[in-house]
C-alpha cells in the first residue's frame, strides 16, 4: 500500500475516534509529535517534584507533610506511566532522560519559578495543577491509546491535588492577616505563569492545527486558557483574594471573562533557559542521575550475578 | 499516665518521625525513579506511624498531635542518634534504613503484645508496613554489597560508619526499664537477639565484613543528641515557630 493511502486510512481511523495502538501504522510526524509531547510531559512531572519538594521538610503540620509527600510521589508515578507510554513509540527512558539532561528536551516552564513560601504549595496545587487538568482532561481522549490511558490515571490524581492545594489556601485565608497576605503574594506570583502554561496564542502556535487534526489535541491553547480563567475566577472570589490583572472582568456578550495581555517575552525567556530556576532545576536532575550511576550499575551487576547463578544451578541439575 | 510511659511513647514516635524527615529530603533526588517512589512510601508509612503515637499522647494530655513534633525543644526529643545521621549517599541511606528496620520490625512484633492496647494496635497496623520496609532495605544492602567492587566498598564504609549507632536501640533507657516492668514495652534482649540475627544474615549475604570493636554512640533517648538534630527540627518547626498559634 502506498504511503499516501496508508496516511488516508490512518486519518480516517482517527476521524472515526478509533484508538491508534503501538503496532499500528502511523505517520512518522505523528510518532515524533507524540514522543516530543509525552516525554516533555513526563519530564515536567519529574522536574515538577523539585519546587514542591523544597517544602517537604518545612510543611507546617504532619497532615500537610504527608499530603505533600503523597502528592509528589504521585507525580513521580505520573512520570513513570508517561515514560512507559512514550516507550511504546520506540524511544527508551534512558534516551529521554539523556535529552532532558542535555537540555534537548523541554519541560513545562512553570517549574522554573521558585517556591518561596508555604502558600506557594497551595498556589501550585490550585493554579498549576488546575491549569494542568484543563490541558490534560481532553488528552484522556487523545488518539494514541497508551497516552490516553495513562492520562486517565493522571487526571484522577491531579484533580485530587488541586483540591488539596485549594484547601491549603482556603485554610490560610480563614486564618491570620499574615497568612492571607502570604496567599495573596503567592497568587500574584503564580497567576500569570499559570496562564502561560497553555502555550502561545493560537495565531502563534504553528503545530496546533496538525495536532488537532490528529486528535492529539482537542482544544486550542486559547480555548483552554479561557476555560481555565472562567473556572478559576469564582474560586478566587471564595478565597477572598484578588487575581493580579486589572483588566480581568466578566464580558456579558461573550459569556466569558476578559483578561489582560500575557507577557510573552517573559514566557519565551523562561523557555529559553533564562527563568529564575532553570539552571538549578536541571542541575538537580543531573546531580541525582550522576550520583545514582553507581547504584544503577551495582543493581545491574547484582541482577547479572543472580541470573548466572540460576543458569549454573540449572546446568548442574 | 506516668512520665516514663509518656517518654517511651515519645521515643516510639520520634524515631520514625525524625527518620521520615530525613527520608523526605530524598524525594525528587533518588537514583532511580522507582526507588524515589519506594523511599517516599517508607517516609509516608513511618511519619504516619509517628502521627498515631503523637495523637495518642495528645488525647491523654489534651494537646494537639502537631505540638509534639513541632513545639518541643531539642533536648525533649527521645529518638536514637542513628535516625538523625545525614542521608549520605544512597548506600548510607539504605544501611541506616536497614538498621532501623531491624529494630523497628522486631520491636513492633513484641509491641503487638503490649499491655497498652492502643500501642499494641498501632504495632499491629505498623508491622505490616515494617515487614515490607525490612525486605526492601535488606534487598538493597545485599544488592549493593554484592554488586560491583565500588558499591561493595561504599557499603562497607556505610556499615563501619553507622554500626556504632545501631546498639543504642537495644540499650534500655530508664523509661524503657520502667515501661517493661509495667508490661508495656518489651524485653530488649529478646528484640536485640532477633534483630542482630537478621542483621548478621543480611551482612553475610551482602558479602560485607562485620566491623569489630564497635563502641556504641548513645544519648538520644535521654535527649543528648547529635549536632544534626537542631537543624532537622529548625526545618520541621519553622512555620509553627514563625507564626505561632495559627492553623495551616
Which range marks the domain in which residue B171 is found? Answer: 3-242
Domain annotation covers residue B177? yes
Chain A: closest CA distance from residue B114 (Å): 26
Which grid cell sits at A206?
504553528
Asked whether the beta carbons of residue A298 and residue B239 sit closer than 8 angstroms, the reply is no
**Tens-level pLDDT at each residue, chain B (248 residues):** 899 999 999 999 999 999 999 999 999 999 999 999 999 999 999 999 999 999 999 999 999 999 999 999 999 999 999 999 999 999 999 999 999 999 999 999 999 999 999 999 999 999 999 999 999 999 999 999 999 999 999 999 999 999 999 999 999 999 999 999 999 999 999 999 999 999 999 999 999 999 998 999 999 999 999 999 999 999 999 999 999 999 99
Largest CA-CA distance found in chain B, in angstroms, rounded: 55
Intra-chain end-to-end CA distance of chain B, in Å: 30
DSSP A285: H
* Spatial CA neighbour of A216 closest among A95, A35, A45: A35
Residues whose CB falls within 8 Å of the CB of residue B10, separated by 6 or more in sequence, listed in order:
B53, B57, B68, B76, B77, B78
Which grid cell sits at B73?
525543644
Domain annotation covers residue B247? no
Q: What integer pLDDT is reported at residue B16 of this predicted model?
A: 98
Domain annotation covers residue B92? yes
Burial track B93-111 (b if 16+ CB lie within 10 A, e otherwise): bbbbbbbbbbbbbbbbbbb
Q: What integer pLDDT is reported at residue A99 of this predicted model?
A: 97
**Tens-level pLDDT at each residue, chain A (317 residues):** 677 799 999 999 999 999 999 999 999 999 999 999 999 999 999 999 999 999 999 999 999 999 999 999 999 999 999 999 999 999 999 999 999 999 999 999 999 999 999 999 999 999 999 999 999 999 999 999 999 999 999 998 999 999 999 999 999 999 999 999 999 999 999 999 999 999 999 999 888 899 999 999 999 999 999 999 999 999 999 999 999 999 999 999 999 999 999 999 999 999 999 999 999 999 999 999 999 999 999 999 999 999 998 887 777 65
A147 to A107, A136, A280, A306: CA distances (angstroms): 17, 11, 29, 35
- Candidates A59, A178, A305; nearest CB to B243: A178
A67 to A40, A164, A275, B43: CA distances (angstroms): 25, 8, 28, 12
* Gap between the Cα atoms of A295 and B148, Å rounded: 9
Asked whether the beta carbons of residue B30 and residue A288 sit closer than 8 angstroms, the reply is yes
Interface A-B, measured as beta-carbon pairs within 8 A, has a size of: 139
B212 and A CB contact within 8 Å: no
**CB contact at 8 A, A100 and A38:** no
- Domains contained in chain B, number: 1
Q: What integer pLDDT is reported at residue A291 of this predicted model?
A: 97
ipTM beyond cut 0.95? yes
31-50 of B, contacting A, C-beta below 8 A:
31-37, 40-41, 43-44, 47-48, 50
Which grid cell sits at A63?
497532615
Q: What integer pLDDT is reported at residue A208 of this predicted model?
A: 87
Q: Is A142 helix (H, G, I), strand (E, B) or coil?
A: coil
Query: Which helix (H) or strand (E) covers residue A258, if one does?
Result: strand A256-258
Which residue of chain A comes nearest to B231, CA vs CA?
A57
Domain annotation covers residue B248? no
CATH of the domain at B131: 1.20.1260.10
Kindly report the length of chain B: 248
Q: What integer pLDDT is reported at residue A231 of this predicted model?
A: 97
Domain annotation covers residue B150? yes
- Candidates A62, A179, A284; nearest CB to B47: A62
Q: Is B171 helix (H, G, I), strand (E, B) or coil?
A: coil
Asked whether the beta carbons of residue B236 and residue A298 sit closer than 8 angstroms, the reply is no
Backbone region of residue B214 per phi and psi (left: phi > 0; alpha: psi in -120 to 50; beta: other values) = beta
- Candidates B24, B90, B248; nearest CB to A64: B248
Asked whether the beta carbons of residue A62 and residue B239 sit closer than 8 angstroms, the reply is no
**CB contact at 8 A, B7 and B181:** no
* Gap between the Cα atoms of A286 and A299, Å rounded: 20
DSSP A249: E
226-245 of B, contacting A, C-beta below 8 A:
232, 235-236, 238-240, 243
* Gap between the Cα atoms of A179 and A165, Å rounded: 15
Amino acid at each position: 500500500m502506498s504511503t499516501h493511502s496508508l496516511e488516508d486510512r490512518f486519518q480516517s481511523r482517527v476521524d472515526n475516534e478509533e484508538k491508534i495502538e503501538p503496532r499500528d501504522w502511523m505517520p512518522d510526524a505523528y510518532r515524533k509529535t507524540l514522543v516530543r509531547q509525552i516525554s516533555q510531559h513526563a519530564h515536567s512531572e519529574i522536574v515538577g517534584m523539585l519546587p514542591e519538594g523544597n517544602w517537604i521538610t518545612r510543611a507546617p503540620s504532619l497532615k500537610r507533610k504527608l499530603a505533600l509527600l503523597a502528592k509528589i510521589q504521585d507525580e513521580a508515578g505520573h512520570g513513570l506511566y508517561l515514560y512507559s507510554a512514550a516507550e511504546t513509540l520506540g524511544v527508551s527512558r534512558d534516551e529521554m532522560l539523556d535529552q532532558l539532561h542535555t537540555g534537548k528536551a523541554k519541560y513545562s516552564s512553570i517549574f522554573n519559578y521558585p517556591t518561596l513560601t508555604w502558600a506557594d504549595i497551595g498556589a501550585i496545587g490550585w493554579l498549576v495543577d488546575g491549569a494542568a487538568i484543563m490541558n490534560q482532561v481532553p488528552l484522556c481522549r487523545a488518539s494514541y491509546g497508551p497516552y490516553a490511558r495513562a492520562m486517565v490515571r493522571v487526571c484522577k490524581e491531579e484533580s485530587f491535588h488541586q483540591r488539596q492545594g485549594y484547601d491549603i489556601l482556603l485554610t490560610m485565608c480563614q486564618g491570620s492577616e499574615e497568612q492571607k497576605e502570604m496567599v495573596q503574594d503567592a497568587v500574584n506570583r503564580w497567576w500569570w505563569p499559570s496562564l502561560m502554561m497553555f502555550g502561545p496564542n493560537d495565531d502563534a502556535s504553528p503545530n496546533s492545527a496538525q495536532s488537532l487534526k490528529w486528535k492529539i489535541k482537542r482544544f486550542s491553547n486559547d480555548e483552554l486558557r479561557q476555560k481555565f480563567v472562567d473556572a478559576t475566577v469564582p474560586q478566587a472570589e471564595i478565597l477572598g483574594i484578588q487575581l493580579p490583572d486589572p483588566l480581568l472582568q466578566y464580558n456579558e456578550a461573550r459569556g466569558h471573562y476578559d483578561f489582560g495581555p500575557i507577557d510573552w517575552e517573559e514566557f519565551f525567556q523562561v523557555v529559553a533557559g533564562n527563568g529564575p530556576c532553570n539552571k538549578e532545576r536541571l542541575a538537580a536532575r543531573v546531580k541525582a542521575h550522576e550520583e545514582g550511576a553507581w547504584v544503577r550499575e551495582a543493581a545491574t551487576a547484582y541482577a547479572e550475578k543472580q541470573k548466572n547463578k540460576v543458569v549454573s544451578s540449572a546446568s548442574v541439575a | 499516665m506516668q512520665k516514663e510511659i509518656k517518654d517511651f511513647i515519645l521515643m516510639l514516635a520520634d524515631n520514625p518521625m525524625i527518620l521520615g524527615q530525613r527520608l523526605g529530603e530524598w524525594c525528587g533526588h533518588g537514583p532511580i525513579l522507582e526507588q524515589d517512589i519506594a523511599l517516599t512510601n517508607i517516609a509516608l508509612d513511618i511519619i504516619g506511624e509517628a502521627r498515631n503515637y503523637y495523637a495518642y499522647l495528645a488525647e491523654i494530655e489534651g494537646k494537639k498531635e502537631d505540638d509534639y513534633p513541632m513545639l518541643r525543644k531539642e533536648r525533649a526529643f527521645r529518638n536514637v542518634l542513628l535516625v538523625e545521621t545525614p542521608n549520605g549517599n544512597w548506600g548510607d541511606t539504605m544501611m541506616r534504613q536497614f538498621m532501623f528496620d531491624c529494630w523497628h520490625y522486631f520491636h513492633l512484633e513484641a509491641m503487638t503484645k503490649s499491655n497498652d492496647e492502643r500501642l499494641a494496635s498501632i504495632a499491629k497496623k505498623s508491622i505490616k508496613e515494617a515487614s515490607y520496609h525490612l525486605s526492601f532495605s535488606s534487598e538493597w544492602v545485599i544488592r549493593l554489597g554484592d554488586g560491583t567492587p565500588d558499591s561493595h566498598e561504599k557499603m562497607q564504609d556505610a556499615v563501619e560508619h553507622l554500626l556504632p549507632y545501631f546498639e543504642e536501640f537495644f540499650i534500655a533507657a530508664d523509661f524503657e526499664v520502667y515501661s517493661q516492668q509495667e508490661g508495656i514495652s518489651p524485653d530488649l534482649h529478646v528484640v536485640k537477639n532477633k534483630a542482630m540475627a537478621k542483621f548478621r544474615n543480611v551482612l553475610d549475604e551482602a558479602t560485607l565484613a562485620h566491623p569489630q570493636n564497635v563502641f556504641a554512640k548513645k544519648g538520644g533517648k535521654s535527649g543528648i543528641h547529635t549536632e544534626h538534630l537542631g537543624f532537622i527540627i529548625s526545618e520541621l518547626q519553622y512555620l509553627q515557630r514563625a507564626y505561632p498559634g495559627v492553623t495551616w
